[in-house]
């Protein structure tokens, strides 16, 4: 009797371990908290690994993870956000804008981005309002 009970206990522990170790597919949409529009190109990574993906043009992403993993959502000029994978198969995220990060990056006309402190040429700040008035 003790032998059967012990076998049953080890079987239950093994099955519970297998359930938690299984990969699951997580899908979701990443949007901007300011206007609710989808954000394309958001980096979605599993924390502590190099495994990740990016959101598509509609802000949608798909990634394989395990329960308990932490997903890290990061995007230029937005605050990084972390979400823990639980029982749900869908995790939607709304990223907030980081106004401090906007001053740190300069986009130049030939496709590179550089930090403002590394530039040796003059830079010009253009506001959206100035462009809209022309």
Q: Dihedrals φ, ψ of 10, to 5°?
A: -65, -35
b/e map of 83-120 (b: 16 or more CB within 10 Å)?
A: bebeeeeebebebeeeeeeeeeebeeeeeeeeeeeeee
Q: What is the pLDDT of residue 133?
A: 61
User: What does the pLDDT read at residue 107?
Assistant: 60
Question: How many whole angstroms separate alpha carbon 38 and alpha carbon 19?
Answer: 33
CA–CA distances in Å: residue 102 to residues 10, 53, 94, 110, 121: 55, 24, 18, 19, 19
Confidence check: pLDDT of 14 > 90:
no
Average pLDDT over residues 33-62: 93
- The CATH class, in words, for 23-133 is mainly beta
- What proportion of the chain, given as a percentage, has pLDDT over 90? 43
What is the rounded average pLDDT of the residues 46-75? 93
Q: Note whether 40 and 59 are within 8 A (CB).
A: yes
Over residues 70-89, the mean pLDDT reads 92
Question: Is the pTM of the predicted complex or chain greater than 0.75?
Answer: no
pLDDT in tens, 90-116: 999 999 988 765 555 556 655 555 566
- 46-73 average pLDDT score: 93
Residue 118, pLDDT score: 63
């Amino acid at each position: 009797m003790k032998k059967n009970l012990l076998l049953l206990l080890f079987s239950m522990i093994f099955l519970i371990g297998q359930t938690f170790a299984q990969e699951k597919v997580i899908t979701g949409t990443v949007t901007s908290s300011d206007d609710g529009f989808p954000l394309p190109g958001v980096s979605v990574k599993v924390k502590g690994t190099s495994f990740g993906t990016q959101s598509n043009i509609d802000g949608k992403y798909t990634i394989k993870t395990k329960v308990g993993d932490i997903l890290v959502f990061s995007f230029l000029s937005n605050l990084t956000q972390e979400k823990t994978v639980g029982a749900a198969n869908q995790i939607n995220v709304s990223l907030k804008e980081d106004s401090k990060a906007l001053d740190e990056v300069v986009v130049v006309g030939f496709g590179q981005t550089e930090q403002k402190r590394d530039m040796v040429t003059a830079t010009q700040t253009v506001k959206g309002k100035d462009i809209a008035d022309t």
